[in-house]
Amino acid sequence: MSGHSKWHNIQGRKNAQDAKRGKIFQKISRELYMAVKAGGPDPSSNPQLRLIMDKARAANMPKDNVKRAVDKGSSSDTANYDEVTYEGYGPGGVAVLVHALTDNKNRTSSSVRVAFTRNGGTMGSAGSVAYMFDRRGLIVIEREGLDIDEDQMLEDVLEAGGDDMQTSDEAFEIYTDPKQLAAVRDALEAKDYKLATAELTMIPENITPIPAEKAEQFERMIDRLEDDDDVSEVYYAGELPENTEA
């Protein structure tokens, strides 16, 4: 969600998170556990589970870790996690959405509030910024080594059921209805496309430029939120200056 493509930002965040890989695995394990509890352990009949397994594979999560999380979800384990969304504004008035999966709402709420307030942000009430984002399915196919032009790619995307496509130097970014993400993913894989990612995401309707003097503070806030064990995803409607990247 900067001046570059969304895929450029996804790559940047993943590179920055390499040192936090153990924490990322822990978060994905929770998501796997919840998906199995909700829809069973078979990814062929549980689209949400398959999406999270794809996410685990993209993060290079060991297969043993994935199996443990799925087995735990299939067991009589009674651990309970709630999905919670927090809303607010970062430095420069940028809308921020925080999705969390937590077994202690009070702990998570307090931690998220501190991340906002100590870094120039403010927490908002429910619904204060959520309306500024659209929930979409996002599929990315990297262009490196792919011998296909944009017209043919768009034709295949529309035939697979995709809604829209954006092209950058690095990748084709394909957007879908959230409920159609799994079907579009499967249709593109059936055409032998290798997908870099397939995920549900929140796309901001409008982008707010982040002032250069606020950029470092904004990045600290995002980093603090993403470091939280209970936070699964952070979305923001801001554009950082070209010489910085969150």
Q: What is the pLDDT of residues 23-65, one digit of tens each?
A: 888 899 999 999 999 999 999 999 899 999 988 988 889 999 9
Question: Where does the pLDDT of residue 20 fall: very low under 50, low under 70, confident under 90, or very high at 90 and above?
Answer: low
Question: Where does the pLDDT of residue 10 fall: very low under 50, low under 70, confident under 90, or very high at 90 and above?
Answer: low
Tokens at 103, concatenated: 């077994």
What is residue 77's predicted lDDT score, i.e. its pLDDT? 79
Percent over 70 (pLDDT), the chain: 89
What is residue 2's predicted lDDT score, i.e. its pLDDT? 32
Give Cβ neighbours of residue 135 (< 8 Å, ≥ 6 apart).
178, 200, 201, 202, 203
In our burial notation (b when 16+ CB lie closer than 10 A, e otherwise), range 202-214 reads: bebeeebebeeeb
What is residue 1's predicted lDDT score, i.e. its pLDDT? 34
What is residue 162's predicted lDDT score, i.e. its pLDDT? 95
In this predicted structure, the answer to whether residue 13 has a pLDDT above a threshold of 80 is: no
Give pLDDT tens digits for 140-157: 999 988 989 999 999 999
In this predicted structure, the answer to whether residue 3 has a pLDDT above a threshold of 90 is: no
What pTM, to 2 d.p., does this model score? 0.83
In this predicted structure, the answer to whether residue 4 has a pLDDT above a threshold of 50 is: no
